[in-house]
Amino acid sequence: CAFALISADELIVAHTNESEYRSFISNKKNEALQSRIIVMRMPYNLRVSDEEKIYGKLIKQSDLGHVHIAPHALKAAAIFSILTRLKDTKKQGIDLLKKLRLYNGDAVEGFKEADIKELQNEFNDEGMAGIDPRYVINRISSALIRRDTECINALDILRALKDGLDQSATISKEEKERYLNFINIAR
């Protein structure tokens, strides 16, 4: 019995992280799908203001909205997150904090819009690694659910992020050291 050729216009959208994708591709059982997959690499967000909005929205949607979050607390978490996703530039006079501010659309003395475009084009994989929003939200949640907590500030959140680094099995020792430095910068 032979099957007739069937033409179908279908689109399946899926998302995953890099390691899961590599595992899927390396599995010989998935060979038939590999030629039919179009990969669209989507980096993590690299704007502090947008990252802060993500955290605010997720907290509002949770049952933890009753806890007061001090001004700039979520911004400190966002700064930490974005720093973990950025790559050091070869461009003179720009450290990661200046780069973060430029990517966020902030005015940085001595730099123009063309400099931002040049930075964004320097690494095609910038933002493909680093701390994901889920990790940060989980750590913020751990700070929010402590008994008798009515208010948390930036230091509470940064402490929770630091504590989470010790508990994470996926963060290497080198990354942890780097991330601890970023927590200090985010203060």
Q: Which residues are registered as beta bridge partners of 74?
A: none
Q: Which two tokens stand for residue 18?
A: 């890099």
- Say how far apart CA 80 and CA 187 lie, in whole Å: 9
Max CA separation in the chain (angstroms)? 73
Q: Is residue 88 predicted with pLDDT exceeding 90?
A: yes
Q: Residues 126, 129, 130, 132: is their CA dihedral positive or negative? A: positive
Q: What is the pLDDT of residue 54?
A: 96
Tell me what the pLDDT averaged over the chain comes to: 90
How big is the chain by its Cα radius of gyration, in Å?
Answer: 20
More confident residue, 82 or 36: 82
Give 30's DSSP letter. Answer: G
Q: What is the pLDDT of residue 13?
A: 85
Q: What is the pLDDT of residue 97?
A: 96
Q: What is the pLDDT of residue 64?
A: 76
Give the range among 1-5, 123-127, 182-186 with minimum mean pLDDT: 1-5
Q: What is the pLDDT of residue 48?
A: 98
Beta-carbon count within 10 A of 43 CB: 14
Q: What is the pLDDT of residue 146?
A: 77
- Say how far apart CA 81 and CA 11 lie, in whole Å: 33
pLDDT bracket for residue 1 (50, 70, 90): low
Beta-carbon count within 10 A of 75 CB: 17
pTM to 2 decimal places: 0.86
